[in-house]
Structure 1
């Protein structure tokens, strides 16, 4: 989903900033695909300069990546009419991220703003202790895997650059079957910052949505989803 952030300011429609935003977002799909699934660039000068980033999930075929980035960029243009800072995670299995700002954000950990979506169904109270024990260990292991800086370049036919901080896994849990989890950080942040971003999302779920049967937490620097 998307987040239009007005805290960094607003711009006038059809201004130089708006024109630069449209230009950099229109070229983002081809740039992301050409750069192995991740691209960080800018367009314009001075206060009208727009910084933009696009990233596709590992394993995305070039045409699927292009389509996802194009859809995300188009949605941002349609929904964030005059905000100078916005990001959007789009898609399911082949997910992608598009982000733009009036400030350079490459290499910076950004936790806010964030969006949360959760499953309204609960884990039964009698099952919580055993479930939480399995869940906590599984999340800790997945964070460690996702935040390691090992790239997976085993497939030459698919995009792989954005797999630097990525983990997708399934673990069995009593009564409820399998827990599935997906974690993904932008590759420009450090391994430690990726770990911090994912831990922040896991901790947020445990604090505000304990016992719910799944959650999606979207941040500018990382993606976290788990479900039964």
Structure 2
């Protein structure tokens, strides 16, 4: 990223560190975004349930189903009857280790009531809203990184609403880290000095586009 500023004409700056990603993102497919001003540094885990439930010994009620999923042809699904003998379905993912700014993204759809679909990672907890169609979710889970010496165990909890059947599907789960983009600054005492500095720094075509954008 390039920061262009003019001393005495006001300064256009980028934040010193990346802003948090909004809790909810619209696109449920592809690679989830980092915060504004940051880029992905590592993909720690990605789960699409194409080979089934990743940790079947730590899952209750969740199954891999064939469906029109955002990624691939399968998703994880939980169906709860609403009866007292079916209180909760839970799904644990494989523990992974991370450090620094860490995010968890996933696609979700379901008919469950608000407050009955929870995504959690160690001490971090997010109540997921119901959605009739697939929608993307991105959560900043950096606060959970220090809980277990960097080990993260994402899990999903679907609890019953008495007497009301409900379903929750998840797919395209991504655990990843981000870091602020590198920045450089081009300064000058006025717009002409900035233009001259840009011309000295960049190739002619790039300099022309930058100058036009700051007129």
The TM-score range, normalised by the shorter chain, is under 0.3
Larger relative contact order (CA 8 Å, sep ≥ 6): 2
Q: Which has the higher strand share?
A: 2
